[in-house]
Structure 1
Amino acid sequence: MLPWTNICGLEDAEAAARVINERGDTGFSRRGRGGTSVSSAIDVASLFLDQFPGRATKKIIDISANGENNDGLPVQPSRLKAIAKGYTINAIAIPAQDENPGHQLASYFADYVIGGPEAFVMKPTGTSDYATALRRKLVTEISMNVDPQFPSEN
């Protein structure tokens, strides 16, 4: 975890990356559990956004997962609370190699996870495309002009 940090350019981004690289994984962890708790990810992200000390025109929760919410609380209450606070939830749905064409993870995320102003799901072609999808998602989020006064009901 990195405390709230202003990243206003390449120098700031490199400094933040160095801190993350040196400290490693010091965030919230679910070691020893094999499930996917999208609801927990939304709740923890909401907690951090609630504590943001500055002003932001957008508050976005990014979810990346290779499975549906199958651990912890149901995802809908967490999703609805975050949207009610004006937060946007975007996602990267990482498909399994043997994904069922009739039940795609991206559709699950679109129907049950994302929400808020201009929310979207990105679907990489596979794990090797994840870095490209993450970069594309961040560029899309940064370039969107969203009025936080009018949260969507997505």
Structure 2
Amino acid sequence: NYVGCIGVAYFEWSSPGHARVVLPWTSICGLEDAKAAAAVISRKGDAGFIRRGRGGTSVSSAIDIGSLLLDQFPGKAAKKVIDISSNGENNDGLPVQPSRSNAIAKGYTINAIAIPTEDENPDEPLASYFARSVIGGSQAFVMTPKGPDDYTMALRRKLVTEVSMNDERPL
């Protein structure tokens, strides 16, 4: 409920039933808050370098969990955004469309970072799938890192874009 602040919850996910909240709802009102939140994510989060098992990718589960977290947000917000980072299409769990439609119907925006893989089909990039089937809501967008070393910069660009966007809808 603070002007100039954002509320952030961070969770990690893969296939249905494989998700965990790393950072519960946290207010970020300045640099110190951001550093504290980043330290929690760094300490408790998965670095993403090791893939455990051969589980699938359930983008629908990620949207559903993000939607549930936003449903439980303990304050008021001018906009509510589900951010998804993924290196694959929905290939496990429920179809994406109902989850996407339900989140958008609640007024939530779904943005994404589509992380290209080395064997990505240049005629069907992952970003196109996300643009067509995953993102949605007010001012939704997808970003693509140029490569594995660009992910951190893409994440920063995405967060800065989201925080600085003017939402045209009335509060």
TM-score (norm 1): 0.87
Moved more, 81-90 or 31-40: 31-40
Deviates more, 1:6-15 or 1:104-113: 6-15
CA distance change for structure 1 residues 112 and 131 in 2, over 3 Å: closer, same or farther?
Answer: same
Q: What one-letter code is carried by the residue in structure 2 that aligns with 1:12?
A: D
CA contact (8 A) 1:58 1:148 kept: no
TM-score (norm 2): 0.79
What letter matches 1:131 in structure 2?
Answer: T
After TM superposition, list the pairs within 5 Å mapping 1:79-118 onto structure 2.
79-118=100-139
Please give the root-mean-square deviation of Cα atoms over the aligned residues, in Å.
1.7
Task: Give ranges in structure 1 of 5+ residues lacking alignment.
Answer: 26-30
- Equivalent residue letter for 1:66: N
Structure 2 Cα separation of the partners of residues 141 and 120 of structure 1: 9
- Quote the sequence identity (%): 74
2:164 to 137, 143, 154: 143
As a proportion of its length, which structure holds more strand?
2
Matched with 1:60 is: 81
Matched, 1:126 2:147: yes
Instruction: Report the count of equivalent residues.
Output: 145
Alpha-carbon offset, residue 119 of structure 1: 0.2
Flag the structure with higher helix content. Answer: 1
Residues 96, 19 of structure 1: alpha-carbon distance in 2 compared, 3 angstrom cutoff: closer
How far is the alpha carbon of 1:20 from its aligned partner? 3.3
Q: Distance in 1 between matches of 2:137 and 2:102?
A: 11
Which is worse superposed, 98-107 or 85-94? 98-107
- The residue number in structure 1 matching 2:58 is 37
Partner Cα separation in structure 1 for residue 69 and residue 53 of structure 2: 24
Distance verdict in 2 for CA 1:79–1:32, change over 3 Å: same
Are 1:3 and 2:24 counterparts?
Answer: yes
Paired residues of 1:79 and 1:115 also in contact (CA < 8 A):
yes
Moved over 4 A (4+): none
Cα deviation code 1:61-88 (max 9, x no counterpart): 0011111000000000000000000000
Q: Is the 8 A contact 1:57 1:147 kept in 2?
A: no
Q: What is the distance in 1 between the residues matched to 2:44 and 2:145?
A: 28
Deviation at 1:12, TM superposition (A): 1.0
In structure 2, runs of 5+ residues without a counterpart are 1-21, 47-51
How much does 1:107 deviate?
0.4
How much has 1:19 moved relative to structure 2? 3.1
Using CA pairs under 8 Å that are at least 6 residues apart, name the structure with larger relative contact order, 1 or 2.
1
